[in-house]
Structure 1
Amino acid sequence: MLSFRPVTLTSTLRKLIERIVARGVRDCIEDRLRPEQKGFRPARSPLDTLMQVASAVRRRMDGERTAAAFIDDARACDSVDHGCIVRELLSFGVERHLVAWIAGFLRGRTSKVRVDNALAEDISVTCGVPQGSVLGRLLFIITVASLGRRLKRITGLRNGFFADDLGIVCTSNDLSELQQRKQQGLDCITHWSAECRVEVSAGKTEHTQLAAREAKLLSLKVGATALKEERAPELVDLTMHRLKGLSKHGLCMKAVASTRLLQLRAAASPEWGPDREERRGSHRAPEQAEMCYGVASWWFDTSLSDLERVERVQAQAAHMVAGNPKAANREGGLREARLKPINEVARRRALDHYL
């Protein structure tokens, strides 16, 4: 039940007014938001956050250790303090009449739950941003911006946000310095969370040292709770392994795609079932989309043998889509199925990102 949350169903007129207010707020804040925040912003995507963290991992020098922590805020959008939202709006220089309207929009909200024909009594909502509203996501990233500014003051600590997903990364050849920086970052997050009434879930917060075979464990805490070091933590659904780094994600994608491939094989009979275009669509939608998620951030760190495994899955899917035998030429099968090698997809997306 903790995963369920009320969704705000506002009227058409209210949504129109929210859009007008949101445009006025964006005009004031967009140029002042930190580049580390990628969520709910125009022309941004999870790939930006993944590339940011991946870049920090790649830049380490020989002998240096890289430590990463991925922080989980428990229902952050539902618990953030309204006072913090108003203070952040004012600090960004948003016009006072817009701030007053937003404060009134948040104040005195109620919600109720309907199950079949039974309707619960009104519940007063005293914190959080309205889920499903036009303004909700924008107000949240404005509030989180203050945390980004605080983390930026910690020397040697890099961070990346996508909405409420946060990763912090630091690199050093001194283990004690690494420990100190990471703990400073976690303490900063803990203090900010207490001020804004956002709970950090220590049980779901993960940390690891990357590319360290004989790494001594770091003793890190969130508040009074010690964190457990994970071998393969996740940030925005990207898996990072302690030894294999970002290449671990490629293996995970290959495993997921292989399962999808079995489903495609069951429906890809040349005598019956969907035609070629339907088979192509059913492959591109769930299977290729999963294989290519964030591909520009992990593809170039993955070993050639692991890359070949992923490409082999794409080639098998192409043969099924085109109705070709397994022994058919790989390049010809991809052309006939109108599919691209994953390597080409990765290079195109990396180029689009940097341009």
Structure 2
Amino acid sequence: MVVEVRSETAPPRRVRKTKWAFHKAEWQAFAADCEQSLAELEPDLTTQVLADRFESALQRAAVRHIPRGARADPRPWALDPDLQEAIIERRAARAALRDGDTPSRERWIAAKRRAAELEKKATIAHFKDFVSTTLNRPANVGRVHKTLKKWERCCDDEPRDGQAMLKGDRLIVTDRDKAEAFVQEYARVSKQVGFRAGRSVEDSIGRLVQQVQDGWNRPKSRRADPPEGTTAQKYVLVAYDFARAYDVVDHRLLRLRLLELGLPRCMVQWTWQWLRDRQVAVEVNGVKSGERVFRAGLPQGSVLSPLLFLLWAAPLAHSLKAIQGCTPYMYADDTATLCAGASIETARHRAQQAADTLTRWARTSKMVVSGEKTQVLVLSQWPKDAVDLSIRVAGARVEARETLNLLGVTLDRLLHFGPHCKRMRQRTRPRLQHLRRLTGRDWGLEERQLRIVANGYVRGALEHAAAAWLPAASPSHVEVLEREMREAARVITGCTRSTPTEALMAEAGLAPVTARKTTLAARFLAKARALPEEDPLRRVADATVNPRLKAVTGWRTVGLEAWHMAGVVAPIEPVLPPSVAPWEEAPPVVFDLGIGATPPSGASAETRRQAAALHLASLPQCATWAWTDGSATGGVLDGGAGGYIEWPDGESHELRAPAGKLCSSYRAEMVALRETLNYIGNHTDHEEDPIILCTDSQAALSALRSGPAEQRTQLNRAVWDALALVSDNGERQRRWGFGSA
């Protein structure tokens, strides 16, 4: 692996590669020139000499008679007739320029200005046309996002090239020394970091916020020495920073810890071989350093690195949990501890214990804790608790701050998230300006495209881990985000500021932030309740704490209120257990999502029915035929599933099954498939015959076609289990029927 670094002061000169303009070539003159050159050859020349002469003749003739151009396709705006005329006038004025001739110089300056103005107008006109036509296509929504992201990173905050470097006390000037310094200290494969599937920042922040709010809502202490955890709690949150955490994981120590955790030796050996003997070199301005062999570090950008780091840090998590009142929060290489106590002195003492434990573990693990970058935050309803509180981390004194940044979320003492809302506003303001650049009075993106982009580009920035913190934010801070969404709605619709808020948001098709708060909280609560009972987030979601503070509201309370209004009752369907191993052989099932020659989109129902009947007639007729269908009122309520089974001997059977009070059409279709397959699997009178299962849900078949290892819900897994049951004795075919079953 070679990392190339450029350290020149000036950017490299970019000379566009010229191309042969064959359509402008004088081919008759080219042929005559070649004939004349080859006619003068001596007859006794060797084959090599003849080949060299022939190549030389072709090259000379090509240079004379085939022109070369810098660009085969000029910029579209450069073809503007007025601009081309202005460029011709500018060139003529430049050619007529004479020293000491004032009128000719003034004509040249005027021609330059006119050409520059016309070029600017042409580029703007082309950009407007590009946005109004190309970017307005539904398939180009991703291209719009890429354009906006490019504008967002238009500022250059990278170090300047051509500067000397300091390595310790030594000044590095030559390219060779720079390359060696890079390979020793800064050589990294990627800045990307992978995370665990099914886990997110929202899970960690949500568990932390709800745990703190539950501690605050406990009754006040009436005794001098109350039992642990029975009264209102005060917290000290500490976010630690490991210097280059992934890059200093020792391979030998990692192998020992994997063995201590009981992983199979074959897996440990495979991991050892994967990490060991990786080499890197750095090239600076053509000067290549020596190769460096890595004896430590996890490849950044690999999906295995976060898992290996969590296994590497498992002893640390076990040690931190052993401290009374201490809860560790570990997400990839970000580590934080939340220490609770009936008094702030108890919480600070436990936070110091956790800091000492983490520092000792880091020292034995050959890692470095950066005390200067460690953050401390007091979470308490009493302002005086945050005064003059500090702990020592790795020899450095760390004082409590007013805010703490953890996983992209800014937390404050009262968990009202005012600083975080202001930070989100600062983040979205430039994005709104970029969105305005894509629309005008008579040009730009259409409203449909603007709505899609605003939901992803603007709302996506505001709702980072929003289910965890937005329900706890105070109404005044939520109003800060509401203003930004109303500004996005004005960009979409073109409405003035005097437009009523409700009409503005309805016209733009955007949900207010307060409505999104309820939706996100209900969804997050359902996700937490679907986790296994031993999961920490599930325990927080199932906890019951009587509210004591009216101003403290979390996602669990808001989610339960939303459930009550929507008629949702427990239990929630559990998440899918560990997936099937990908190397296990799938049942012999054939998925067919086509019906042969597809009728045109405007074809009549009779034409489509004939096409479907023709395709079904081509399938084996001596088989068990099953037809399934599912539906829900409005696609969300009172789902029902049904099936019709026809056996090879002519007998038939009908099935009906409820799919759930809150149910999508997709889920109803999957329930119909499951019930039909289970019924067929329980009746083995025709197990030697193939099974043809027809459904009108192409989405269901597309999800099932990926195989049992790729299913993400228990319902989909149940369908595959039923498929495996009925596929034991031969090949089974599943077909997609055109129209309703």
- What is the alpha-carbon distance in structure 2 between the residues aligned to residue 193 and residue 7 of structure 1? 24
Aligned to 2:151: none
**Which of 307, 312, 320 is residue 478 of structure 2 equivalent to?**
307
Offset from partner CA, 1:198-232 (integer Å, 9 cap, x none): 21111111002124311232231112111132211
Query: Where does 1:79-228 land on structure 2 (aligned, <5 Å)?
Result: 79-115=248-284, 117-211=286-380, 212-215=382-385, 216-228=387-399
Aligned to 1:74: 243
1:50 partnered with 2:219: no
Superposed displacement of residue 81, structure 1:
1.6
Q: Say if 2:280 and 2:292, in contact at 8 Å, map to a contact too.
A: yes
Aligned to 1:27: none
Q: Matched residue of 1:305: which SS?
A: helix
**Which of 285, 292, 295 is residue 463 of structure 2 equivalent to?**
292
Q: Which stretch has the larger CA shift, 243-252 or 157-166?
A: 243-252
Aligned to 2:508: 337
- What is the alpha-carbon distance in structure 1 between the residues aligned to residue 427 and residue 480 of structure 2? 12
How many residue pairs align between the two structures? Answer: 325
Superposed displacement of residue 297, structure 1:
1.6
- What is the alpha-carbon distance in structure 2 between the residues aligned to residue 131 and residue 326 of structure 1? 47
Alpha-carbon distance change, 119 to 135 in structure 1, aligned in 2, over 3 angstroms: farther
Q: Say if 2:369 and 2:394, in contact at 8 Å, map to a contact too.
A: no
1:348 partnered with 2:553: no
Q: Quick one: which amino acid aligns to residue 93 of structure 1?
A: G
Unaligned regions of 5+ residues in structure 2, if any?
1-158, 160-181, 221-231, 527-741
- What is the alpha-carbon distance in structure 1 between the residues aligned to residue 413 and residue 317 of structure 2? 26
Superposed displacement of residue 80, structure 1:
1.3
Q: Matched residue of 1:349: which SS?
A: helix
- What is the alpha-carbon distance in structure 2 between the residues aligned to residue 142 and residue 129 of structure 1? 12
1:318 partnered with 2:489: yes
- Tell me the TM-score normalized by structure 1: 0.83
Aligned to 2:5: none
Q: Say if 1:250 and 1:307, in contact at 8 Å, map to a contact too.
A: yes
Offset from partner CA, 1:241-287 (integer Å, 9 cap, x none): 23554343223223322343333334432323333244334423332
Q: Which stretch has the larger CA shift, 231-240 or 105-114?
A: 105-114
1:6 partnered with 2:161: no
- What is the alpha-carbon distance in structure 2 between the residues aligned to residue 64 and residue 306 of structure 1? 25
Query: Where does 1:236-315 land on structure 2 (aligned, <5 Å)?
Result: 236-243=407-414, 245-315=416-486
Tell which structure's C-alpha radius of gyration is larger.
Answer: 2
Q: Quick one: which amino acid aligns to residue 353 of structure 1?
A: F
- Tell me the TM-score normalized by structure 2: 0.41
Give the % identical residues.
Answer: 28
1:40 partnered with 2:211: no
Q: Matched residue of 1:41: which SS?
A: coil
Offset from partner CA, 1:9-35 (integer Å, 9 cap, x none): xxxxxxxxxxxxxxxxxxxxxxxxxxx
Superposed displacement of residue 51, structure 1:
0.6
Alpha-carbon distance change, 252 to 132 in structure 1, aligned in 2, over 3 angstroms: closer
Superposed displacement of residue 167, structure 1:
1.7
Q: Quick one: which amino acid aligns to residue 450 of structure 2?
A: R
Q: Matched residue of 1:56: which SS?
A: helix
Q: Say if 1:249 and 1:298, in contact at 8 Å, map to a contact too.
A: no
Aligned to 1:60: 215
- What is the alpha-carbon distance in structure 2 between the residues aligned to residue 271 and residue 5 of structure 1? 51
- What is the alpha-carbon distance in structure 1 between the residues aligned to residue 253 and residue 494 of structure 2? 59
Q: Which stretch has the larger CA shift, 147-156 or 318-327?
A: 318-327
Q: Say if 2:278 and 2:293, in contact at 8 Å, map to a contact too.
A: yes
Q: Matched residue of 1:227: which SS?
A: strand
- What is the alpha-carbon distance in structure 2 between the residues aligned to residue 162 and residue 191 of structure 1? 20
Superposed displacement of residue 50, structure 1:
0.6
Offset from partner CA, 1:167-195 (integer Å, 9 cap, x none): 21122232321121001111111111112
Q: CA RMSD in A?
A: 2.4
- What is the alpha-carbon distance in structure 2 between the residues aligned to residue 321 and residue 337 of structure 1? 6
Q: Which stretch has the larger CA shift, 152-161 or 279-288?
A: 279-288
Q: Say if 2:328 and 2:335, in contact at 8 Å, map to a contact too.
A: yes
Q: Say if 1:80 and 1:197, in contact at 8 Å, map to a contact too.
A: yes
Alpha-carbon distance change, 244 to 346 in structure 1, aligned in 2, over 3 angstroms: closer
Offset from partner CA, 1:278-320 (integer Å, 9 cap, x none): 4334423332111111111221222212212211221221121
Superposed displacement of residue 116, structure 1:
5.6
Q: Quick one: which amino acid aligns to residue 325 of structure 1?
A: T
Alpha-carbon distance change, 299 to 134 in structure 1, aligned in 2, over 3 angstroms: closer
Q: Quick one: which amino acid aligns to residue 268 of structure 2?
A: V
Unaligned regions of 5+ residues in structure 1, if any?
9-38
Aligned to 2:574: none
Q: Matched residue of 1:114: which SS?
A: strand
Q: Quick one: which amino acid aligns to residue 318 of structure 2?
A: R
Q: Say if 2:377 and 2:413, in contact at 8 Å, map to a contact too.
A: yes
Aligned to 2:565: none
- What is the alpha-carbon distance in structure 2 between the residues aligned to residue 178 and residue 207 of structure 1? 12
Q: Say if 2:388 and 2:399, in contact at 8 Å, map to a contact too.
A: no
Q: Say if 1:88 and 1:143, in contact at 8 Å, map to a contact too.
A: yes
- What is the alpha-carbon distance in structure 2 between the residues aligned to residue 91 and residue 348 of structure 1? 44
